[in-house]
Amino acid sequence: MPDRRRVLVAVDGPSGSGKSSVSREVARRSGLAYLDTGAMYRAACWAALRDGVDVTDPVAAAVVARAVTLDLSTDPDHERVAVDGVDVTAGPDGIRGERVTSAVSAFAAHPGVREELRARQRDVMDAAPDGCIAEGRDITTVVAPDADVRVLLTADADARVERRRAQVVESGSGDAVEVVDVRAGVVGRDAADSRVTSFLSAADGVVTLDSSALTFEQTVQAVLRLVREVQRAPEGVRR
Protein backbone atom coordinates (compact mmCIF):
# COMPACT_ATOMS: atom_id res chain seq x y z
CA MET A 1 0.00 0.00 0.00
CA PRO A 2 2.47 2.70 -1.17
CA ASP A 3 -0.15 5.46 -0.95
CA ARG A 4 -1.06 4.90 2.65
CA ARG A 5 -0.31 7.59 5.21
CA ARG A 6 1.51 7.18 8.50
CA VAL A 7 -0.86 6.51 11.37
CA LEU A 8 -0.55 6.34 15.14
CA VAL A 9 -3.00 4.14 17.02
CA ALA A 10 -3.58 4.11 20.78
CA VAL A 11 -5.44 1.27 22.48
CA ASP A 12 -6.37 1.27 26.17
CA GLY A 13 -8.20 -1.34 28.17
CA PRO A 14 -8.38 -3.35 31.37
CA SER A 15 -6.53 -6.60 32.01
CA GLY A 16 -7.74 -9.45 29.82
CA SER A 17 -9.66 -7.23 27.40
CA GLY A 18 -7.66 -8.65 24.50
CA LYS A 19 -5.84 -5.43 23.72
CA SER A 20 -2.44 -7.09 23.30
CA SER A 21 -3.48 -9.88 20.93
CA VAL A 22 -5.84 -7.62 18.97
CA SER A 23 -3.30 -4.79 18.68
CA ARG A 24 -0.59 -7.19 17.57
CA GLU A 25 -2.81 -8.63 14.83
CA VAL A 26 -3.94 -5.20 13.66
CA ALA A 27 -0.29 -4.14 13.45
CA ARG A 28 0.53 -7.25 11.45
CA ARG A 29 -2.23 -6.69 8.91
CA SER A 30 -1.81 -2.93 8.57
CA GLY A 31 1.98 -2.76 8.42
CA LEU A 32 2.41 -0.87 11.69
CA ALA A 33 4.97 -1.23 14.43
CA TYR A 34 3.57 -2.74 17.63
CA LEU A 35 4.35 -1.50 21.14
CA ASP A 36 3.26 -3.36 24.26
CA THR A 37 3.69 -0.68 26.91
CA GLY A 38 2.78 -3.12 29.67
CA ALA A 39 5.79 -5.20 28.71
CA MET A 40 7.96 -2.12 29.16
CA TYR A 41 6.71 -1.63 32.73
CA ARG A 42 7.17 -5.32 33.43
CA ALA A 43 10.71 -5.26 32.05
CA ALA A 44 11.73 -2.33 34.23
CA CYS A 45 10.10 -4.02 37.22
CA TRP A 46 12.06 -7.18 36.43
CA ALA A 47 15.25 -5.12 36.64
CA ALA A 48 14.22 -3.70 40.01
CA LEU A 49 13.55 -7.17 41.41
CA ARG A 50 16.84 -8.44 40.00
CA ASP A 51 18.68 -5.65 41.79
CA GLY A 52 16.86 -6.22 45.07
CA VAL A 53 15.13 -2.85 44.90
CA ASP A 54 12.03 -2.25 46.99
CA VAL A 55 9.36 -1.73 44.31
CA THR A 56 7.27 0.31 46.76
CA ASP A 57 10.06 2.90 47.14
CA PRO A 58 9.27 5.69 44.63
CA VAL A 59 12.79 7.10 44.54
CA ALA A 60 14.56 3.76 44.11
CA ALA A 61 12.04 2.59 41.53
CA ALA A 62 12.46 5.76 39.48
CA VAL A 63 16.25 5.37 39.55
CA VAL A 64 15.91 1.88 38.06
CA ALA A 65 13.48 3.09 35.39
CA ARG A 66 15.88 5.82 34.28
CA ALA A 67 18.99 3.64 34.31
CA VAL A 68 17.81 0.35 32.78
CA THR A 69 18.43 -0.49 29.13
CA LEU A 70 15.29 -1.90 27.54
CA ASP A 71 15.04 -3.49 24.12
CA LEU A 72 11.52 -4.30 22.95
CA SER A 73 10.87 -5.60 19.47
CA THR A 74 8.18 -3.66 17.60
CA ASP A 75 7.79 -6.40 15.01
CA PRO A 76 4.34 -7.94 15.61
CA ASP A 77 5.67 -11.27 14.32
CA HIS A 78 8.63 -11.36 16.69
CA GLU A 79 8.11 -10.79 20.40
CA ARG A 80 11.33 -10.10 22.26
CA VAL A 81 11.98 -8.17 25.47
CA ALA A 82 15.53 -7.73 26.76
CA VAL A 83 16.69 -6.04 29.96
CA ASP A 84 20.32 -4.94 29.93
CA GLY A 85 20.91 -7.49 27.18
CA VAL A 86 19.15 -10.37 28.96
CA ASP A 87 16.17 -11.94 27.17
CA VAL A 88 13.24 -11.94 29.62
CA THR A 89 10.44 -12.49 27.12
CA ALA A 90 9.00 -15.74 28.41
CA GLY A 91 9.10 -18.43 31.06
CA PRO A 92 8.36 -18.44 34.79
CA ASP A 93 11.37 -16.20 35.49
CA GLY A 94 10.48 -13.75 32.69
CA ILE A 95 8.41 -10.60 32.68
CA ARG A 96 5.10 -12.49 32.77
CA GLY A 97 6.07 -14.81 35.61
CA GLU A 98 4.38 -14.59 38.97
CA ARG A 99 7.18 -12.62 40.65
CA VAL A 100 6.90 -9.70 38.23
CA THR A 101 3.12 -9.96 37.95
CA SER A 102 2.68 -9.58 41.69
CA ALA A 103 5.01 -6.56 41.87
CA VAL A 104 4.46 -4.57 38.69
CA SER A 105 1.40 -2.58 39.81
CA ALA A 106 3.25 -1.21 42.83
CA PHE A 107 6.32 -0.44 40.72
CA ALA A 108 4.36 1.22 37.93
CA ALA A 109 2.36 3.40 40.32
CA HIS A 110 5.25 5.79 41.00
CA PRO A 111 5.14 9.10 39.08
CA GLY A 112 8.87 8.99 38.39
CA VAL A 113 8.60 5.56 36.80
CA ARG A 114 5.60 6.52 34.70
CA GLU A 115 7.18 9.77 33.52
CA GLU A 116 10.34 7.99 32.36
CA LEU A 117 8.63 5.09 30.63
CA ARG A 118 5.98 7.25 28.99
CA ALA A 119 8.77 9.30 27.43
CA ARG A 120 10.38 6.11 26.11
CA GLN A 121 7.03 4.97 24.74
CA ARG A 122 6.57 8.23 22.84
CA ASP A 123 10.08 7.88 21.41
CA VAL A 124 9.27 4.39 20.11
CA MET A 125 6.06 5.59 18.49
CA ASP A 126 7.73 8.63 16.92
CA ALA A 127 10.52 6.48 15.46
CA ALA A 128 8.20 4.11 13.57
CA PRO A 129 8.36 5.20 9.91
CA ASP A 130 4.97 3.83 8.85
CA GLY A 131 3.24 4.38 12.17
CA CYS A 132 2.68 2.41 15.34
CA ILE A 133 -0.08 0.84 17.38
CA ALA A 134 0.61 1.14 21.11
CA GLU A 135 -1.50 -0.53 23.76
CA GLY A 136 -1.63 -0.29 27.51
CA ARG A 137 -3.36 1.56 30.33
CA ASP A 138 -3.19 5.30 29.59
CA ILE A 139 -2.14 5.44 25.95
CA THR A 140 -5.22 7.27 24.65
CA THR A 141 -5.13 9.95 27.33
CA VAL A 142 -1.52 10.54 28.38
CA VAL A 143 1.04 8.84 26.14
CA ALA A 144 -0.59 9.56 22.78
CA PRO A 145 -3.65 11.79 23.22
CA ASP A 146 -3.16 13.10 19.67
CA ALA A 147 -3.08 9.65 18.03
CA ASP A 148 -5.03 9.35 14.80
CA VAL A 149 -7.06 6.44 16.18
CA ARG A 150 -7.85 6.02 19.87
CA VAL A 151 -9.74 2.98 21.14
CA LEU A 152 -10.86 1.79 24.56
CA LEU A 153 -11.12 -1.99 24.22
CA THR A 154 -13.15 -3.55 26.99
CA ALA A 155 -15.05 -6.72 27.85
CA ASP A 156 -17.08 -8.07 30.74
CA ALA A 157 -15.35 -9.73 33.68
CA ASP A 158 -16.07 -13.34 32.68
CA ALA A 159 -14.66 -12.88 29.19
CA ARG A 160 -11.57 -11.11 30.50
CA VAL A 161 -10.87 -13.76 33.11
CA GLU A 162 -11.03 -16.57 30.56
CA ARG A 163 -8.79 -14.71 28.10
CA ARG A 164 -6.26 -13.98 30.79
CA ARG A 165 -6.26 -17.61 31.95
CA ALA A 166 -5.58 -18.79 28.42
CA GLN A 167 -2.80 -16.21 28.02
CA VAL A 168 -1.06 -17.30 31.22
CA VAL A 169 -1.16 -20.97 30.21
CA GLU A 170 0.10 -20.20 26.71
CA SER A 171 2.98 -18.06 27.98
CA GLY A 172 4.34 -20.98 29.98
CA SER A 173 4.11 -19.17 33.31
CA GLY A 174 1.39 -21.52 34.56
CA ASP A 175 0.39 -25.00 33.40
CA ALA A 176 -2.85 -25.41 35.33
CA VAL A 177 -4.16 -22.02 36.33
CA GLU A 178 -7.30 -22.02 38.47
CA VAL A 179 -10.00 -19.62 37.26
CA VAL A 180 -10.54 -18.28 40.77
CA ASP A 181 -6.88 -17.29 41.01
CA VAL A 182 -6.96 -15.60 37.62
CA ARG A 183 -10.14 -13.71 38.51
CA ALA A 184 -8.54 -12.41 41.70
CA GLY A 185 -5.50 -11.33 39.73
CA VAL A 186 -7.50 -9.55 37.03
CA VAL A 187 -9.76 -7.73 39.48
CA GLY A 188 -6.88 -6.88 41.79
CA ARG A 189 -4.70 -5.57 38.98
CA ASP A 190 -7.49 -3.36 37.65
CA ALA A 191 -8.16 -1.97 41.12
CA ALA A 192 -4.48 -1.20 41.73
CA ASP A 193 -3.84 0.34 38.32
CA SER A 194 -7.00 2.43 38.35
CA ARG A 195 -5.50 4.46 41.20
CA VAL A 196 -2.87 5.93 38.88
CA THR A 197 -4.42 5.81 35.41
CA SER A 198 -7.84 5.89 33.80
CA PHE A 199 -8.65 2.98 31.51
CA LEU A 200 -12.19 1.97 32.45
CA SER A 201 -14.05 4.80 30.68
CA ALA A 202 -13.36 6.49 27.37
CA ALA A 203 -12.16 10.08 27.17
CA ASP A 204 -13.59 12.47 24.60
CA GLY A 205 -12.78 11.33 21.08
CA VAL A 206 -11.95 7.76 22.12
CA VAL A 207 -13.96 4.95 20.49
CA THR A 208 -15.27 2.37 22.97
CA LEU A 209 -15.25 -1.20 21.65
CA ASP A 210 -16.86 -3.85 23.87
CA SER A 211 -15.58 -7.23 22.71
CA SER A 212 -17.50 -9.36 25.22
CA ALA A 213 -19.73 -10.89 22.53
CA LEU A 214 -17.26 -10.57 19.65
CA THR A 215 -14.88 -13.16 18.30
CA PHE A 216 -11.21 -12.33 18.05
CA GLU A 217 -11.55 -11.82 14.29
CA GLN A 218 -14.54 -9.52 14.67
CA THR A 219 -12.66 -7.40 17.18
CA VAL A 220 -9.61 -7.18 14.92
CA GLN A 221 -11.78 -6.17 11.98
CA ALA A 222 -13.47 -3.42 14.01
CA VAL A 223 -10.14 -1.83 14.93
CA LEU A 224 -8.69 -2.44 11.48
CA ARG A 225 -11.51 -0.51 9.82
CA LEU A 226 -10.65 2.54 11.92
CA VAL A 227 -6.95 2.25 11.07
CA ARG A 228 -7.43 1.79 7.34
CA GLU A 229 -9.83 4.71 7.19
CA VAL A 230 -7.00 6.96 8.39
CA GLN A 231 -4.32 5.27 6.27
CA ARG A 232 -6.32 6.00 3.13
CA ALA A 233 -7.24 9.58 4.07
CA PRO A 234 -5.28 12.55 2.71
CA GLU A 235 -2.65 14.03 4.99
CA GLY A 236 -4.12 16.53 7.42
CA VAL A 237 -7.53 14.87 7.46
CA ARG A 238 -8.38 13.20 10.76
CA ARG A 239 -10.92 10.45 11.28
Domain extent listing, the chain: 7-231
Q: What is the pLDDT of residue 238?
A: 55
92 is in an annotated binding site: no
Taking the chain, what is the end-to-end CA distance rounded to the nearest angstrom?
19
94 is in an annotated binding site: no
13 is in an annotated binding site: yes
- Split at pLDDT 50, 70, 90, the class of 176 is very low
- Chain mean position to CA 111: 18
CATH class for domain 7-231?
alpha beta
23 is in an annotated binding site: no
Per-residue pLDDT of 131-152, as tens digits, reads: 999 999 889 999 999 999 999 9
The answer, yes or no, to whether residue 174 has pLDDT greater than 60, is no
Q: What is the model's pTM?
A: 0.82
20 is in an annotated binding site: yes
21 is in an annotated binding site: yes
211 is in an annotated binding site: no
185 is in an annotated binding site: no
Task: Report CA dihedral (193, 73, 174, 184) to the nearest 10 degrees.
Answer: 10
73 is in an annotated binding site: no
